[in-house]
Amino acid sequence: MYFYVIETQTGESGSTNTFVYKDRADAEAKYHEVLMYASKSTVRRHGCMIMTEDLFILKSEVYNHDPAPVTDD
């Protein structure tokens, strides 16, 4: 089974990075590495998730660094 670690960044320099691992422990390590950077990020929203090849999300977390409240207009 493959595990996907997906990093997302939104804002002016938004991007998405995907890392693929066969071992869940390696995927978990990358997930925590990305979250360490996300917690100190300067982009508006920076997050990460671990997903299986069957598209099942195992973990997901997002840091919101935007001072404005998030609204659904």
- 10-44 pLDDT, tens digit each: 876 668 899 999 999 999 999 999 999 888 888 88
Task: Please answer whether residues 70 and 54 qualify as being in contact, where contact means their C-beta atoms are separated by less than 8 angstroms.
Answer: no
Confidence of residue 3 (pLDDT cuts 50, 70, 90): very high
Residue 53 burial by CB count (10 A; 0-12/13-18/19+): exposed, middle or buried?
Answer: exposed
pTM: 0.81
One-letter-per-residue 3-state SS of 37-68 = HHHCCCCCEEEEEEEECCCCEEEEEEEECCCC
Task: Please answer whether residues 9 and 46 qualify as being in contact, where contact means their C-beta atoms are separated by less than 8 angstroms.
Answer: yes
